[in-house]
Amino acid sequence: MATQAIDATIFASSHPDIAKRTSISGLIFSCVMLVAGILAFVSTFEMEDRSSTLSMGLMVLGTAFVLIGVFRLFWKSKEIVYLPTGCVAREQSVFFDLKHLDGLTNMVKSGNFPVTADMKGGTSGNLRLDILLSEDKKFAAVQLFQFVPYTYNPVTSVCYYTNGEAASIAAFLAKSKMHSN
C-alpha cells in the first residue's frame, strides 16, 4: 500500500501505473453522433416546407446530436487504464452512515476490507468512499471523505492497493451494495 498527501483526491492524483488514454470506441461513437447531428440538421434545409413539424424536429434532433457529440468528444472520450494489465479502471463513490467512520478509516488505512463487515452502502450519506477499481480487480485506489457542512473533507489520504487487496475491496463493495437494496 502507498499513500499520497491528503490534499490530493483519487480523481486528481496520479499514480505511475495509471494512465488516461483515448477510448477508441468512445471516439467513434462521438464522431457518429456528430455526423448524424450534422446530417439531420442539414436535411432540414433540403425540405420544401421548412416550418413543418418534421423539419423542426430534425433541427432540434440534429442540434442535440451535435451538442452531445461535442460533449462526448471532449469530456467522455478518455478512459483510465491500469498499465500493468491494460485493464480499464472505473471511478465510483459509495456513501455510508457516519456510524461507520472508525471502521472505514481503519479499513482504508490497513488495506483490510473484510467481506464479513456488515456495512450498508448507498447513494447518500455522511461518509463518501471514493474508489478507482480496475475491471480485473488487480488495482484499486481508495479515499474516505466525511461531510462537513457544504462539502466533503478528506479523512484519509489516497491509498493504493494491488492484487489480493484490490480484490478484497471489490468483494467488500459488492457486499455493501447488496445490503443497500
The answer to whether residue 133 scores a pLDDT higher than 50 is yes
Residues 6+ away with beta carbon under 8 Å from 94: 121, 122, 128, 129, 131, 173, 176, 177
Residue 8: the pLDDT is 59
Residues 67 and 94 in one domain: no
- As a whole number, mean pLDDT of residues 45-64 equals 86
Q: State the pTM of this model.
A: 0.72
Residue 181 has pLDDT above 80, yes or no: no
Note whether residue 103 is domain-resident. yes
Q: Which of 5, 2, 39, 18 is nearest to 157 (CA)?
A: 5
| Residues 139, 113 within the same domain | yes
Least confident of 47-56, 77-86, 143-152, 160-169: 47-56
**In terms of domains, do 50 and 97 share one?**
no
84 falls within a domain? no
Q: Which pLDDT band holds residue 35 (cuts at 50, 70, 90)?
A: very high
Mean local confidence (pLDDT), 18-42? 89
What confidence score (pLDDT) does residue 147 get?
Answer: 92
Pair 42, 111 in one domain: no
Q: Are residues 36 and 65 in the same domain?
A: yes
Q: Judge contact between 159 and 2, C-beta under 8 A.
A: yes
Verify that 108 and 169 share a domain, yes or no.
yes
Average pLDDT over residues 59-87: 89
Q: Domain range for residue 70?
A: 24-76
Identify whether 68 is part of a domain: yes
* Banded model confidence at residue 1, pLDDT cuts 50, 70, 90: very low
Going by pLDDT thresholds of 50, 70 and 90, the confidence category of residue 4 is very low
Q: What's the confidence (pLDDT) of residue 15?
A: 79
What gap in Å lies between CA 84 and CA 162, rounded to an integer? 11
Same domain, 70 and 103: no
Does the residue 97 lie in any domain?
yes
Choose one of 53, 76, 99: the last residue of a domain.
Answer: 76
Q: Is 150 helix (H, G, I), strand (E, B) or coil?
A: coil
70 and 106 inside one domain: no
Cβ-proximal residues to 22 (8 Å cutoff; 6+ apart), any chain? 77, 78, 79
Q: How far apart are CA 118 and CA 159, in angstroms?
A: 22
In this structure, are 51 and 132 located in the same domain?
Answer: no
On the 0-12 / 13-18 / 19+ scale of CB atoms within 10 A, 15 is: middle
Structural domain contains residue 83: no
Asked whether 179 and 119 are in contact (CB, 8 A), the reply is yes
In a shared domain, residues 168 and 105:
yes
pLDDT tens, position by position, 76-123: 778 888 889 888 888 888 899 989 899 899 989 888 888 777 788 888
pLDDT in tens, 142-151: 999 999 888 9
pLDDT of residue 179: 52
| Sign of the dihedral through C-alpha 58, 60, 63, 67 | negative
Instruction: For the chain, give the mean pLDDT.
Output: 85
The answer to whether residue 142 sits within a structural domain is yes
68 pLDDT above the threshold of 90: yes
Q: Is residue 85 part of a domain?
A: no
Residues listed for the chain? 181
**Is 120 part of any domain?**
yes
Whether residue 99 is found in the same domain as residue 29:
no
Does 150 lie in the same domain as 94? Answer: yes
Task: Tell me how many domains the chain contains.
Answer: 2
Chain centre distance of CA 118 = 25
Among candidate residues 76, 102, 118, the one where a domain is terminated: 76
